[in-house]
């Protein structure tokens, strides 16, 4: 183990222009603005244009992150895209981003860890730098969930939104950057949150489409119970790995799935809501993109400052969970 410190040296985010409010949703599903706000905290979400796919959102977020890091695309050694809504089953969306950016020296691959994906990608990417293999890694969480959302299903249709967030990883001064992490999975919960058809188990057919099996299916209550338990647990473990405790945390940046899940995680960690970054009201659940979009907003608006201790935490399909504690550098 060497003593290199690795952290985020540039950030960027992009959400599509079109906004869909809860009132708009009332037109297509049996729901109400009041129910959605009270049960989820979501007021609106962004939806990709017809000609926009995940790689397009990812590229725009990445361009901002490169600018913020003040480096060129040619300096990137590796691109990792975390997504559950790749442009195609293959090639990897990361390869399409590599081409868009003209990142001619970069390797590229995707990570599939649902809503925990960005933190999985962040931890993976940081290892290449720590090991001395690469110097600059671009990590992106990007989703066009609107393409796999069943707008007629009120159990899931009001939750999701589209967007992308990107981070450039590089070496940081001693004591800054990633200080502790925790990653985990429990595949016995795979059935709780899935897109049933379109893969090798259940290839897409006219029948699977008729049965709407190409859309997200979720047992919301079970995922909710899992989420409130795991958010506190994984954050505590990552803090322990960093030799810190919850009182050291300046800001918690949680996966933005539901305000009730976020509040209950904060309570379990003993953190007041003033220390929690929340933007689920504006974007809904953007899965792998939610943590980097929230982080970008908090940093660019001056809320998060250099020297702050930041806890990123996510959970999602798989089931998966992930957290990363950082001393903010940039
Ligand atoms: O990124 C990770 C992915 N997912 C999540 O984090 C989601 C975790 N789960 C949740 O956020 C919540 O379980 C939901 C928001 C999905 C659902 O909230 P809930 O408080 O668990 O509601 P529920 O499913 O227990 O439903 C309560 C009632 C039911 O009516 P009855 O049976 O009590 O008459 C539902 O039919 O609310 C009804 N309902 C709705 N009403 C209006 C469910 N969805 C809606 C809706 N609009 N969209």
pLDDT (tens digit per residue) in 159-186: 999 999 999 999 999 999 999 999 999 9
> Considering the chain, what percentage of its residues have pLDDT values greater than 70?
99
Say if 135 falls within a structural domain: yes
Q: Are residues 266 and 316 in the same domain?
A: yes
Portion of the chain with pLDDT greater than 90, in percent: 98
**Domain with 112 in it:** 6-175
Residue 83 inside a domain? The answer is yes
Q: How far apart are the first and last CA of the chain?
A: 25
> Angle of helix 259-269 relative to helix 33-40, nearest 10 degrees?
20
- Our mutation pick for probing the ligand 1 site, out of 150, 160, 224, counting the most ligand atoms within 8 A of Cβ, is 224
Mean pLDDT, range 7-17, rounded to an integer: 98
What value, to the nearest 5°, has the Cα angle with vertex 82 and ends 79 and 87?
90
**31 within ligand 1 shell (Cβ under 6 A):** yes
Same domain, 111 and 247: no
Residue 199 and residue 85 share a domain = no
State CA 287 to chain mean position distance. 5
Residue 308 has pLDDT above 70, yes or no: yes
Q: Are residues 144 and 44 in the same domain?
A: yes
**Pocket mutation for ligand 1, best pick of 27, 43, 220, 261 (most atoms within 8 Å of C-beta):** 220
Same domain? For 282 and 318 the reply is yes
User: Are both 161 and 182 inside the same structural domain?
Assistant: no
Q: Provide the Cα torsion 118, 123, 126, 130; round to 10°.
A: 180
Torsional sign, CA 151, 157, 163, 167: negative
pLDDT at 330: 78
Decide which of 153, 175, 197 is a domain's last residue.
175
How many other CB atoms are found less than 10 A from the CB of residue 46?
21
Statement: residue 1 has pLDDT above 70: no
Q: How far apart are the CA of 13 and the centre of ligand 1, in A?
A: 29
DSSP tally for the chain: helices H, then strands E: 10, 13
Residue after which a domain boundary falls, among 134, 149, 175: 175
Look at residue 259 and tell me if it is in a domain.
yes
310 closest CA partner among 11, 3, 45 = 11
Angle in degrees, 0-180, between the axes of helices 54-69 and 93-101, rounded to the nearest 10: 50
What pLDDT, on a 0 to 100 scale, did the predictor assign at position 3?
A: 83
Query: Is 1 a domain residue?
Result: no
Q: How far is the CA of 318 from the centre of ligand 1 (A)?
A: 20
- Residues that are catalytic: 115, 255, 285
49 and 122 both lie in a single domain: yes
Q: Which of 94-98, 152-156, 249-253 has the lowest mean pLDDT?
A: 152-156
pTM of the model: 0.97
82, 166: one domain: yes
Over residues 40-89, the pLDDT tens digits come to 999 999 999 999 999 999 999 999 999 999 999 999 999 999 999 999 99
Whichever domain contains 96, its CATH number is 3.40.47.10
Any ligand 1 atom below 6 A from CB of 220: yes
- Total domains in the chain come to 2
Q: pLDDT category, 2, cuts 50, 70, 90? A: low
Do the Cβ atoms of 5 and 175 come closer than 8 Å?
yes
Ligand 1 within 6 A of CB of 227: yes
Same structural domain for residues 280 and 199?
yes
The last residue of one of the domains, among 175, 204, 236, is 175
What stretches of the chain adopt beta strand conformation (E)?
5-14, 19-21, 44-46, 78-82, 107-111, 137-144, 162-172, 177-185, 193-194, 217-218, 251-254, 309-316, 320-327
């Amino acid at each position: 183990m060497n003593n290199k410190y690795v952290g985020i040296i540039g950030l960027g985010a992009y959400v599509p222009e079109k906004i869909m409010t809860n009132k708009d949703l009332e037109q297509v599903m049996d729901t109400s603005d009041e129910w959605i706000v009270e049960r989820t905290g979501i007021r609106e979400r962004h939806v990709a244009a017809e000609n926009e796919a995940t790689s397009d959102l990812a590229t725009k977020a990445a361009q901002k992150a490169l600018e913020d890091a003040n480096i060129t695309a040619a300096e990137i050694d590796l691109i990792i895209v975390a997504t559950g809504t790749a442009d195609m089953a293959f090639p990897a969306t990361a390869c399409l981003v590599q081409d868009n950016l003209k990142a001619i020296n970069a390797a590229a691959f995707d990570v599939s860890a649902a809503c925990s994906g960005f933190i999985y990608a962040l931890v993976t990417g940081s290892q290449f730098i720590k090991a001395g293999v690469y110097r600059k890694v671009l990590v992106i969480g990007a989703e066009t969930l609107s393409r796999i959302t069943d707008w007629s299903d009120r159990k899931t249709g009001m939750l999701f939104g589209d967007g992308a967030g990107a981070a450039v990883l590089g070496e940081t001064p001693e004591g800054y950057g990633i200080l502790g992490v925790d990653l985990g999975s429990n595949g016995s919960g795979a059935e709780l949150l899935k897109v049933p058809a379109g893969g090798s188990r259940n290839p897409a057919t006219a029948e699977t489409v008729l049965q709407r099996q190409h859309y997200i299916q979720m047992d919301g209550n079970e995922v909710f119970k899992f989420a409130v338990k795991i958010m506190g647990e994984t954050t505590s473990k990552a803090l322990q790995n960093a030799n810190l405790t919850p009182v050291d945390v300046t800001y918690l940046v949680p996966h933005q799935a539901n305000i009730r899940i976020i509040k209950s995680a904060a309570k379990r960690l003993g953190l007041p809501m003033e220390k929690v970054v929340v933007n689920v009201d504006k974007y809904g659940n953007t899965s792998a993109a939610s943590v980097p979009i929230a982080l970008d907003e908090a940093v660019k608006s001056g809320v998060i400052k250099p020297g702050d201790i930041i806890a990123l935490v996510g959970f999602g399909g798989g089931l998966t969970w992930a957290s990363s504690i950082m001393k903010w550098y940039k």
